[in-house]
């Protein structure tokens, strides 16, 4: 922070399920930010922005997304084991 300047901030404590201990929003100067009617509107806006980045907002990884990677890993392992088995038989 630059000495001699003052900034306004909104500090949220979202709770345990969000993955954040605190969310701190530094407010833009009065002329730059949109007009909000009350402090409750400001808190609602900050809460909605923070809600987009919480752990609960992230999409859960589904089985059909993981299955191709698991199958590719198993197929690669099987091919590697087969190659190690065939190399001595081929004299390499």
Instruction: Check whether residue 68 and residue 35 sit in a common domain.
Output: no
50 pLDDT above the threshold of 60: yes
Q: Tokens at residue 91, please? A: 């004299």
**27-31, 46-50, 61-65, 88-92: which range is least confident on average?**
61-65
Number of alpha carbons in the 13 Å side-chain half-sphere of residue 88:
4
pTM beyond 0.75, yes or no: no
Average pLDDT over residues 41-62: 70
**Structural domain tally of the chain?**
2
Instruction: Check whether residue 53 and residue 13 sit in a common domain.
Output: yes
Instruction: Check whether residue 42 and residue 66 sit in a common domain.
Output: no
Contact 57, 51 (CB under 8 A): yes
């Amino acid at each position: 922070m630059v000495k001699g300047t003052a900034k306004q901030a909104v500090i949220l404590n979202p709770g345990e399920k969000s993955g954040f201990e605190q969310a701190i929003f530094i407010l833009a100067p009065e002329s730059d930010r949109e007009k909000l009617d009350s402090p409750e509107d400001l808190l609602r806006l900050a809460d909605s922005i923070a809600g987009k980045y919480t752990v609960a907002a992230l999409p859960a990884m589904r089985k059909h997304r993981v299955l191709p990677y698991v199958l590719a890993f198993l197929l690669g392992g099987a091919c590697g084991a087969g190659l190690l088995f065939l190399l001595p038989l081929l004299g390499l």
